[in-house]
Structure 1
Amino acid sequence: MNPAKLLSTPLKLRNGSVIPNRFAKSAMSETLGTIDNHPTKELATLYRAWAEGGTGLSITGNVMIDRRHIGEPQNVALEDESDLELLTAWAKAGQQGGKQIWMQLNHPGKQSPKMLNKDPVSPSAIPFKKELRSMFATPRALTGPEIEDIIQRFARSAAVAQKAGFDGVQIHGAHGYLVSQFLSPHHNQRTDEWGGSAEKRRRFVLAVYRAIRKACGEAFNIGIKLNSADFQRGGFTEDESLAVIKALVAEGIDLVEISGGNYENPAMAKGAEDGEVKASTLAREAYFLEFAEKVRELTDVPLMVTGGFRTETGMAQAIASGATDLVGLARPLVVEPDLPNRIMAGNPVTSAVKPIKTGIRLIDDMALMEVSWYTRQIGRIARGKAPKQHDRGILSLMEVLGVMTTRGVRTRLRAG
C-alpha cells in the first residue's frame, strides 16, 4: 500500500461529480461572519488556503438558514441572495486547483445560547441537563407551520448556495442540532406526524432532503452529516442511524459523513489524546470506522469518516479497507493546512494536534476550550497568518473567553 498514491486517487460520486482526492475538510464553525451574520472576505482567504493545501473537498462551517436562530456569535446566516457576490468569491476560493467546496446548512434548534436567543425552538420542550441550563434556555416546541417553514428555508438556502457556485450542500444532521433533535427520542417526544416512532422522527430529515433536491436538481451534490449515535441515555441509537442512512440512500443522497455526540456528550470533540478512546479505535485512528463498516454492509453509498485520523498510514488503511471513501479531517487541517499536499508528496506525517485542557471540568467536558482555541487558529489563517500549533494554557482560555464575551455583548446590543 502506497499512502500517497491511494490518498491521491479521485472519488467519483454517483451523479458523476468528481472529488480530486480522498482528503475532506469536515465542517468547523469559523465564526467569521459579521455581527449581523453576513459573510466576509476572510472566508475566501481561509478556504483558498485549504484548497491550495491539497484538500479535495472542503465542507464549510455551519451556515444558518434562519438569522433569528444562530448557534454562535458571527455565524453566517443565508436567507436570500443579498450576499451573492461574497458567497461567489467564497465558493471560487474553495475550488482552487480543481477542488470542491460544499456548504453545510444548519438550524441549531435548542442549541442556541441564551445570550443570542431568548426563544429557542425544538421538536419538544425538553430542557438541557442541569449543568447546561445556565447557558441554554428550555426550548418551546415547534408548531406544524414552523416546521414546514424551516424545511423550505433549508431548500431556499441551498438554492442560493448553488447559484453562488458551491458544488453541493451538506445537511447538518449531527451533534445535537435541530435535525439531530428530530431524530432523537430524547429530544423529540412529539405524538403528531413528526414524532412518536423512529419512522416518524426521520420524516423531518427526509422532508429537508427532498425539498433541497427539488430546488437544486439531481446533478447538485447533497450530503448529510449524521451521528452514529448520541451516546446519551434515551437518545439516537446506531440501529436508528442505520435506518436513517438506508432511507436517505433510497432517496439518492450523494455522501454520508459519520460523526457522533452532542453538546451534552461531545464525542465529536474528544481525541485519541484525551485517553477516552478504546484500544481498537486507537489502533485504527478513526473513531467511527466500526460503525462505517456496518453501513458498508447495507449500502455502497460514498462515506466520509471524521475524527481521529493522525497519520498517513492510518488514513490510507481506512480507505484501503473499504470502510470509508473520504478521510474527514478537522483539527489537523487547522494547525497544518498543507497536510494533504505533504502526504500526497510522499512525506511521512504525524499530525501536530495535541490535547487542550484547562483543568476546569465543566469547560473540558464540554470541549469549550478545545473548540474555541481551534476557532481562533482558523481566524489566523483567514487573516493570512500561520496558525499556532500549541495552546498557551490558561492564557489561551482567557483570550477565548474574552472574545466570546465581547462578541456576545455586541450581538445582543445589535439585536436589542
Structure 2
Amino acid sequence: MNSPIYSSLTLSSGISVKNRLVKAAMEENMATSQQLPSTELIRLYSQWAAGGVGMLITGNVMVDHLAMTGPGGVALEADTDLSAFRTWAQAAKHGDTKVIMQINHPGRQVFKNMGGKVFSPSDIPLDMGKHSHMFPKPTPMSQDDIQDVINRFTITAQRAQQAGFDGVEIHAAHGYLLSQFLSPLTNKRDDRWGGSIENRTRILIEIVKQIKANVEQGFIISIKLNSADFQRGGFDIDDAEQVVKMLAPYNLDFIEVSGGSYEAPAMQGRSADERTLAREAYFLTFASQIAKSATMPIMVTGGVKRLAVAEQALAENIQLVGMGTALAMRPDLPNKWQTQPDYVAPLPVVNWKDKTLSGLATMSVVKQQLKRLGKGKAPNTSPSALCCLIKDQLNKAKLTKRYRKQHQHELS
C-alpha cells in the first residue's frame, strides 16, 4: 500500500521504524505479584507485534515499586530480575517491530488504598470533587527525594536497555510526577525546582541528561508531554512549546504530545476548562502547532481510529501517530488498513453524567479487551461498560490486597 503512513522513519538514535503507526501506552494492570511482566502481558505484546505497528510503547513501568499508579503494575528497579523483561522485549520485537518502555512515577496520583509513597513538588491534593477522598494529600519533596527520583529514572532506563528494549519514553504527561513539576497548579515551590518554566522543567532535563550519560549509543530516548493540563491556570500550549525548545539540545528521538490528568481526562476526549476537543485525534491541533518549531519528530496520540485521520496528522508535520484504544479493540489494525483503508476501528464511548465514573468505565472497557487478548481471545467489540467497570473494580480490589500483602513491611 502506498500510504505515507507505511513509510519508514529513521530516528536520531539511528534506529529505523518500519512505519509511522505506534501502539501508545495503556495501563494494563497485568503484572505478576512480584510486579514483573506476566505470561498474559507478554502474549498481548506478541499479538500487537503481529498486528503490524512500527513501534510499541509499553504501559507505564514504575521506577519505584512503592509508588504505583495501580496494583497490577510493572516495576523495574536496580535489583529486579530481568528474565521476564527479556522475554517481553523479545515477544514485542517480532516482525521488525521496535519496543519502547514507558517509565513513570505517579507522584500524588496514588490511590489511598494502595499505601506507599505519595509525594509531589508541593502539598496540593487532587481535586476530584466527590471522589477526592480516593487520593491522600501528598508530601512536598525534599532535595534528596528529587535526586532519588532522577536516579531511579536513570537506573530503570539502563535496565530496560539491558533487557533488550529499543528505548524508553519518559512520562511527563497526564498529571504524573514530572507533569506535576511542570504545572504551576501543582508546583508552588520557590527553590530551583519551581517558579519559572525553566525551573519547573529542570527535573525533566536532569533525567534526560542522566539517562543519555548512562545508556549506550543506539537507544531511543523520548518524552510524553502534555500539550496542556486543560485546567484554568495550568500548564498550557505556550509552556509546552517552551519545554520542547528547552529539550532541543538533547537530540531526543521524538516527543509524544498528549494532554490532561486524572482531574481533567482530556486523553479520553474530555476537558475541564470548557475547551472543545475534536472527536478524533484530540491533540492534533496542539501537536501540529508544537511541530512547527520543534527540532525533533513529534508524535500525536488520542482518539485516532481511521487511516485518513492518521494521514492527516502526517500532512500537518507530525511524524508518528499513536493509537491506544483502537489497538485494544483491533490489535491488527495496521495490517487491516493495508487491505481495507476505509475500515474504522470500534472505540467504546461511555457518556455517563458522572465524568469521573465515565472515565473509569472507559478505561475498564479497554482493560477487559487487553485481558482477553492476553488470554489469546478475540476482543469483544460491544462490551457492557457497567459490567466492565464492576469486573475492573473487583479485580483492582483483589490486586490491591495482593500488593499490600506483598509489601506490608514497607508500606505506610
Normalising TM by the smaller chain, what interval? over 0.9
Structure 2 match to 1:318: 313
Moved more, 252-261 or 123-132: 123-132
> 1:372–1:400: 8 Å Cα contact kept in structure 2?
yes
1:5 equivalent in alignment to 2:3: yes
> 1:224–1:255: 8 Å Cα contact kept in structure 2?
yes
- Could you tell me how far 1:277 is from its partner in structure 2? 8.1
Structure 2 match to 1:165: 164
Distance in 2 of aligned mates of 1:157 and 1:409? 26
Structure 1 match to 2:326: 332
Structure 1 match to 2:221: 222
Report 1:335-374 matches (<5 A): 335-358=329-352, 360-364=354-358, 367-374=359-366
Letter in 1 for 2:43: T
1:381 equivalent in alignment to 2:373: yes
Structure 2 match to 1:110: 108
Report 1:171-182 matches (<5 A): 171-182=170-181
Moved more, 38-47 or 100-109: 38-47
Structure 2 match to 1:143: 142
Structure 2 match to 1:86: 84
Structure 1 match to 2:28: 30
The one-character-per-residue Cα deviations of 1:294-319 (angstroms, maximum 9, x if unpaired) are 22221241111001212111111221
The one-character-per-residue Cα deviations of 1:184-210 (angstroms, maximum 9, x if unpaired) are 111111111111211100000001111
Q: Give me the TM-score of the superposition, normalised by structure 2.
A: 0.94
Distance in 1 of aligned mates of 2:233 and 2:270? 24
> 1:255–1:304: 8 Å Cα contact kept in structure 2?
yes
Distance in 1 of aligned mates of 2:253 and 2:195? 28
> 2:365–2:385: 8 Å Cα contact kept in structure 1?
no
Distance in 2 of aligned mates of 1:361 and 1:177? 20
- Could you tell me how far 1:327 is from its partner in structure 2? 1.2
Structure 2 match to 1:188: 187
Distance in 1 of aligned mates of 2:394 and 2:102? 27
> 2:325–2:366: 8 Å Cα contact kept in structure 1?
yes
Letter in 1 for 2:263: E
Letter in 1 for 2:34: D
- Could you tell me how far 1:247 is from its partner in structure 2? 1.1
- Could you tell me how far 1:5 is from its partner in structure 2? 2.7
Distance in 2 of aligned mates of 1:271 and 1:335? 20
> 1:11–1:18: 8 Å Cα contact kept in structure 2?
yes
Moved more, 154-163 or 5-14: 5-14
Structure 2 match to 1:99: 97
Q: Give me the TM-score of the superposition, normalised by structure 1.
A: 0.93
For residue 295 of structure 1, give the secondary structure of its aligned residue in structure 2: helix
1:286 equivalent in alignment to 2:281: yes
For residue 194 of structure 1, give the secondary structure of its aligned residue in structure 2: coil
- What's the C-alpha RMSD, in Å, of the aligned pairs? 1.8
For residue 133 of structure 1, give the secondary structure of its aligned residue in structure 2: helix
> Please, which of 41, 44, 47 is the counterpart of residue 46 of structure 1?
44
Structure 1 match to 2:66: 68
Distance in 2 of aligned mates of 1:64 and 1:328? 21
Distance in 2 of aligned mates of 1:303 and 1:362? 30
Name the CA shift for 1:110/1:140 in 2 (closer, same or farther; >3 Å): same
Letter in 2 for 1:181: Q
Moved more, 353-362 or 234-243: 353-362
Structure 2 match to 1:213: 212
Structure 2 match to 1:304: 299
Letter in 2 for 1:325: Q
For residue 68 of structure 2, give the secondary structure of its aligned residue in structure 1: coil
For residue 226 of structure 1, give the secondary structure of its aligned residue in structure 2: strand
Identity rate, percent: 39
- Could you tell me how far 1:43 is from its partner in structure 2? 2.1
> 1:358–1:393: 8 Å Cα contact kept in structure 2?
no
Structure 2 match to 1:249: 248
- Could you tell me how far 1:404 is from its partner in structure 2? 1.6
Structure 1 match to 2:121: 123
- Could you tell me how far 1:358 is from its partner in structure 2? 4.9
Moved more, 127-136 or 6-15: 127-136
> 2:303–2:325: 8 Å Cα contact kept in structure 1?
no
Unaligned runs of 5+ in 1: none
- Could you tell me how far 1:278 is from its partner in structure 2? 4.4
- Could you tell me how far 1:405 is from its partner in structure 2? 1.7
> 1:32–1:75: 8 Å Cα contact kept in structure 2?
yes
Distance in 2 of aligned mates of 1:317 and 1:18? 22
Letter in 2 for 1:161: A
> 1:154–1:208: 8 Å Cα contact kept in structure 2?
yes
> 1:271–1:307: 8 Å Cα contact kept in structure 2?
no
